[in-house]
Amino acid sequence: MSVKDKKLFGQLFPTKWSLVIFIAYICLFVNQGILVKASQNNGTNNKYDYNIVSVVIGTEFIKLITCIVLYFKDKPSIWQLFDEIRSGFRIGLLYLIPAFLYCLYNNLAFINLANYDPTTYFILLQLRTVITGMLFQILFKKKLTLIQWFSLCLLTMACMIKELGHSIKSSSSDSFNIFSTLMSKNLLLMLIQLFCSCFAGVYNEFLIKNDGNAVHILVQNIFMYTDSILCNLAILLVTSNPLSNNSAIFDFSILFKPYVFIIMLNGAIAGIVTSFFLKHLNSILKTFAATLEILLSAILCSFLFATIIDLYTIISIWLVFVAIYIYAMKPVQNPSINSTSLSNQKSHTNISSNV
C-alpha cells in the first residue's frame, strides 16, 4: 500500500476499531437480509408465518435489556437510573421522532424483502445516500463538496438501473412502461423506508452529539428503545382487528422458535453495532458501508436462493464501487462532540440506534 493509500485509509478509518465496526456492520446486515428472506414461506407468496411487528418488538426488548444490564454494570443503583430518566425526560420525548421512524423502517424491511430479493433490496436502499447528504448538511452545517455529491449521484443512478432491471424481468414485454416501473407500489414502499432510515439516522446522530450530551449515554438508549417499543405496540393494536376472535396477532409464542429468535438476536446486535458506527464514524460513511453489502449479498444469494446476477446487477455494482472510490478521495469528516460533555462520553458506550 502506497503512502497516499495509507493516508486515504487513515482518513476513512482513524482507529483499528473503526475498521472492525465497519466490517461488522456489513456482515450483520447482509446476514439479517438473508435470514429474513429464508424465513419466508414460499408456498404463500413469500409471506411470513409470524407477525413481523411482534418480531420487531422482540428485537427492541433484547436491545433494551442489554442496555439496562450495561447501565447497572456501570452504576448499580436503580434509584440513580430513575433520577437520570426524570432529569432527561425532555430528551426522551425528542427520541420519539427517530423511534417512530425506525419503527416504520424495521417493519417495512420485512415487507420489502418479501417483494425483492436481498441484492435488489440492498441496491435500492442506496437511494438514501442523497437524502442523507442533504440532511447531514442541514443538521451539522457541513457543506458537501462537488466530488461528494457526484459520488452520491452515481449511487442513485446505480439504484435506478437495478430497479429497471428488476421490473423488466418481472413484467411482461408488452405491458412494460418505464414511468410506471419507477412509480410502482413496491418502489414507493422502498422510498418510504429509505426516508425513515435517512432522517432517523442523521437525527439520532444529531441527538447523540448535541442535545443528548447532557444525558448519560445509556439512558439515551433506554429512551430510544422504550419509545420504539411503544410505537410498535401502537402499530400492533392498529393493524389488529378487535372485532374478530382471532388473537393470533398477539401470540408471542412464535418468537421462541429458533429461526425467529435468531432473526431478533442478529437484528439486535446489528442495531448495537450501528450505534457504534454513528458514534465513531458518521452517517455518510454508514451509507457507503451499506453499499458494500450489495456485492456480498449478490454472491451469497446466488448460492442460497439461485438468484441470477444479470447485466443490470453487474452495472449497478460497478457504479456503486466507482462512487465509493470517488467518495473515498475526500470523505466527510466526523462531526465533533460538544466539548462540555466530551469527558462524559468517553467512558460510556452508546447502543441507541436501531436496525
pLDDT at 44: 52
How much of the chain, in percent, has pLDDT values that exceed 90? Answer: 6
CA dihedral 30, 35, 38, 41 (to 10 degrees): -130
Q: Using the predicted structure, report yes or no on whether residue 319 has a pLDDT greater than 50.
A: yes
pLDDT at 219: 84
Q: How far is CA 118 from the centre of its chain?
A: 14
Mean pLDDT over residues 96-109, rounded? 90
What gap in Å lies between CA 259 and CA 56, rounded to an integer? 14
pLDDT at 173: 45
3-state helix, strand, coil in the chain (%, to 5): 80, 0, 20
Q: DSSP state, 47?
A: B
Helices (H), 240-349: 258-280, 283-304, 311-328, 342-346
Average pLDDT, the chain: 75
pLDDT: is 353 or 265 the higher one? 265
Q: 46 and 325 in contact (C-beta within 8 Å)?
A: no
Q: Could you tell me how many residues make up the chain? A: 355
Q: Which residues pair with 47 in a beta bridge?
A: 41
AA letter at 302: S
Is 335 exposed, middle or buried (CB count within 10 Å of its CB: 0-12, 13-18, 19+)? Answer: middle
Task: Give the tens place of pLDDT for each residue, 231-288.
Answer: 999 888 887 654 444 444 555 677 778 888 999 999 988 887 877 776 777 656 766 6
pLDDT at 231: 92
Task: Give the tens place of pLDDT for each residue, 184-236.
Answer: 677 788 888 888 888 887 777 777 767 666 777 778 888 889 999 999 998 88
What gap in Å lies between CA 13 and CA 20, rounded to an integer? 9
Retrieve residue 31's grid coordinates.
Answer: 446476514
What gap in Å lies between CA 224 and CA 61, rounded to an integer? 11
pLDDT at 177: 53
> Where exactly are the structural domains of the chain?
29-39+50-241+258-346
Task: Give the tens place of pLDDT for each residue, 33-50.
Answer: 889 888 887 655 667 888
Q: 215 and 149 in contact (C-beta within 8 Å)?
A: no
Provide the pLDDT confidence category of residue 78 given band limits of 50, 70 and 90. confident
Mean pLDDT over residues 72-87, rounded? 83
Helices (H), 171-216: 178-182, 185-209
pLDDT at 339: 43
Neighbours of 80 (CB within 10 A): 13
Question: Lowest-pLDDT range, 19-23, 75-79, 164-168, 170-174?
Answer: 170-174
Q: 207 and 98 in contact (C-beta within 8 Å)?
A: yes
Name the phi and psi angles at 225, rounded to 5.
Answer: -70, -40
